[in-house]
């Protein structure tokens, strides 16, 4: 098993401490759950380098002033860390023998992905997650922001899924990232279309045609939707097409590392998947799903 989606800092905290102790604790928690390899994948937008490159990207959107102001505040709050220091810390963990690889969670920036790729090429990343959290200036997954959540009542659910899927297709086609993170995140707040098959087909096709892997994430169990990403019918579509998979918790603190690993293992078994895809230097390799770890007390 893998936990290929891990953050160092909660969204609520502006401070961005770095230290090997945190990664050591993540590895211990993961290994106790039978997870053999971890990827540290902080958000690109937590770094000043992203602000220099992309700050104000929301300004020319036809979004409401409220959404734009909310995004400006969010961006300003988050873009405080140094990308060089972050990569150095992850590299030190690797060099110390911890089972971690160096990653990043990258958002989709319409028309800007070549510039994003140029920045990322300066660093020795092992794996890059590609995510759609935002549609223009709208942070549809920011459950704590009343402005963002209010937007759900102003839009049609089908149209939201359509716009989300279009952004995900463009992100996949850009070729900048390796893994589609939480592929059906648009359901996060619990808004689902009556007939989602069309969008599931398109998301599976986007992964398949781009060569990207797809993430199977337990994070949705901690959200209003109350379901892993992807939904079972989308997971079945990935498996039927042979799309490589990773597993992930999307933890932002140690308590959630390897969260629900046993349930994810069961899901993979239910669709006949025995191997996941890990990465080194952005090159894939196979990792066995593996057996359930034996509980320490049962092992005596």
> Residues in the site for Zn ion, rule: CB under 5 A?
105, 131, 250
- At closest approach, how far in Å is the CB of 250 from Zn ion? 4
Instruction: Please calculate the CA angle 127-130-134 and round it to the nearest 5 degrees.
Output: 150
Q: Tokens 């510039």 label which residue? A: 115
Cβ proximity to Zn ion: between 131 and 246 the closer is 131
Taking the complex as a whole, the smallest distance from the CB of residue 290 to Zn ion amounts, in Å, to 24
Respond yes or no on whether the N-terminal peptide bond of residue 46 is cis (omega within 30° of 0): no
**Closer by beta carbon to Zn ion, 105 or else 142:** 105
Q: How far is the CB of 128 from Zn ion (least distance, A)?
A: 12
Q: What is the DSSP string of 69-109?
A: HHHHHHHHHHTTB-HHHHHHHHHHHHHTT-SEEEEEEEE--
Closest approach of Cβ 7 to Zn ion, in Å?
6
Reported residue count of the chain is: 300
Nearest residue (CB) to Zn ion, 58 versus 134: 134
Please identify, using beta-carbon distances, which residue of 186 and 276 lies nearer to Zn ion. 186
Question: Half-sphere exposure of residue 9, counting CA atoms within 13 Å on the CB side?
Answer: 22
Query: Considering just the CA atoms, what is the radius of gyration of the chain in Å?
Result: 18
> For Zn ion, which is the closer residue by CB, 131 or 165?
131
Distances (CA, A) of 21 to 28, 40, 136, 192, 274: 11, 14, 37, 40, 32
- CB 185, min distance to Zn ion, A: 7
Give 105 or 126: the residue with its C-beta nearer to Zn ion: 105
CA gap 105, 78 in Å, rounded: 14
List b or e across 205-226, with b for residues whose CB sees 16 or more CB atoms inside 10 angstroms: bbbbebebbbbbbbbbbebebe
Residue with tokens 């109350």: 226
Min separation Cβ 251 and Zn ion, Å = 9
Of 37 and 105, the one with the shorter C-beta distance to Zn ion is 105
Residue 128 buriedness (CB in 10 A; 0-12 / 13-18 / 19+)? buried
CB of 42 to Zn ion, least distance (A): 8
Residues 6+ apart with CB under 8 A from 71: 58, 63, 134, 137, 139
Give me the least distance between CB of 240 and Zn ion, in Å please: 25
CA distance 57 to 252: 25
Nearer to Zn ion, 12 or 95 (CB): 12
């Amino acid at each position: 098993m893998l936990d290929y989606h891990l953050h160092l800092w909660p969204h609520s905290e502006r401070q961005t401490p770095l230290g090997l102790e945190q990664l050591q604790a993540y590895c211990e928690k993961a290994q106790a759950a039978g997870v053999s390899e971890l990827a540290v994948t902080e958000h690109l937008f937590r770094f000043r380098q992203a602000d220099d490159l992309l700050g104000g990207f929301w300004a020319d959107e036809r979004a409401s002033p409220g959404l734009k102001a909310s995004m400006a505040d969010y961006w300003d709050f988050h873009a405080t860390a140094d990308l060089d220091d972050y990569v150095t810390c992850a590299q030190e963990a690797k060099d110390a023998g911890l089972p971690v690889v160096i990653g990043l969670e990258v958002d989709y920036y319409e028309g800007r992905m070549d510039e994003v790729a140029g920045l990322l090429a300066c660093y020795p990343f092992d794996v890059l997650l590609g995510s759609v959290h935002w549609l223009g200036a709208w942070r549809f997954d920011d459950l704590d922001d009343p402005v963002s959540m209010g937007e759900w009542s102003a839009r049609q659910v089908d149209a939201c899924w359509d716009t989300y899927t279009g952004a995900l297709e463009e992100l996949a086609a850009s070729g900048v990232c390796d893994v589609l993170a939480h592929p059906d995140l648009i359901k996060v707040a619990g808004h689902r279309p009556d007939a989602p098959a069309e969008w599931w087909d398109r998301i599976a096709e986007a992964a398949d045609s781009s060569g990207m892997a797809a993430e199977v994430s337990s994070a949705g169990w901690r959200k209003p939707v109350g379901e892993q990403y992807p939904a079972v019918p989308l997971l079945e579509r990935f498996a039927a097409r042979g799309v490589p998979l990773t597993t992930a918790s999307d933890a932002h603190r140690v308590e959630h590392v390897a969260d629900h690993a046993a349930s994810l293992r069961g899901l993979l078994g239910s669709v006949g998947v025995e191997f996941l895809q890990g990465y080194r230097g952005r090159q894939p390799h196979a990792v066995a799903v593996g057996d359930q770890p034996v509980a320490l007390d049962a092992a005596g």
